[in-house]
Amino acid sequence: MSGRIASIAAAVALVATTGSLAHASGCGWYAIGGAFQSRNAAYNHAGDLDASVYNLDDSNSPNAGKGFYAVAIGPVSKRQANQYRRQFQSNGVKSAYVKNMCFYGPRL
Asked, for residue 91, whether it belongs to a domain, the answer is yes
Q: How would you classify the pairing of strands 27-36 and 52-55?
A: unpaired
For residue 78, give every residue at least 6 positions away whose Cβ sits within 8 Å of its Cβ, in sequence order, or none. Answer: 29, 98, 100
- 2-11 confidence digits (pLDDT tens): 444 444 444 4
Number of compact structural domains in the chain:
1
Asked, for residue 74, whether it belongs to a domain, the answer is yes
Return the pLDDT at 13: 39
Return the pLDDT at 61: 58
Q: What's the whole-model pTM score?
A: 0.68
Domain, as residue range, for 21: 2-102
Asked, for residue 108, whether it belongs to a domain, the answer is no
Count Cβ atoms below 10 Å from residue 25 Cβ, excluding itself: 9
- 63-79 confidence digits (pLDDT tens): 666 788 889 999 999 99
| pLDDT < 70 stretches in the chain | 1-25, 58-65, 104-108
Asked, for residue 53, whether it belongs to a domain, the answer is yes
Asked, for residue 44, whether it belongs to a domain, the answer is yes
Asked, for residue 45, whether it belongs to a domain, the answer is yes
Asked, for residue 82, whether it belongs to a domain, the answer is yes
